[in-house]
Amino acid sequence: MARAGIALGSNLGNRLDHLRAALTCLREIATPGEPVLIAPVYQTEPRFCPPESPDFYNTVLEIDFEGSAHELLTITQATETKLGRSRGSERNAPRVIDIDLLYLGDLCFNDGALVLPHPRISERRFVLQPLADIRPTLVLEGLDLPVAEILANLHTDEAPLVLVAEHP
């Protein structure tokens, strides 16, 4: 059993409802009796998306998970499909739901299909801020500083995040 950090984003339709639906699905795979940490929801500008893409709502949750990294990846991708995500040919196209694995315990993993910890956590305010809200002292494998310090030292051209909801 390991703690899994998972980022959620939505920039189509009722974004808050989509995040809530994903959270409901992911709570079902959490180890019973173990805490589920859920960050506030932030509105963020689209990054690396096609022009005119709508703003995202983003949050992060952390659960205990008893399976492998690939089992978790399979579950999260199936959840995306169940909630209406379609995978087109356009990279980073607007989407109903986006679920990204950030980490699974202290696992360092790269098999081409999955990289853990997520290779761009330390570059993304839209991930760092909600993660720092629930795990400010977390030090991920391969990073020398706690998440909150990485966020404090982040240099990016991202627009400031806007708090949407304390709890999704």
Q: Kindly name the residue from 3, 15, 20, 98 that is annotated as catalytic.
A: 98
Catalytic residue at 3?
Answer: no
Q: Active site residue: 20, 95, 124, 135, which one?
A: 95
98: annotated active-site residue: yes
Distances (CA, A) of 104 to 47, 67, 70, 142, 162: 25, 10, 11, 13, 28
Q: How far apart are CA 19 and CA 93, in angstroms?
A: 17
| Residue 15 token pair | 């974004």
Active site residue 85: yes
Catalytic residue among 85, 124, 125, 135: 85
Element (H, E) at 137: none
From 47, 63, 12, select the one nearest 161 (Cα to Cα): 47
Q: Is 95 a catalytic residue?
A: yes
List 17, 55, 64, 100, catalytic entry: 100
Q: Of 128, 133, 131, whose CA–CA distance to 153 is shortest? A: 128
Residues carrying an active site annotation: 85, 95, 98, 100
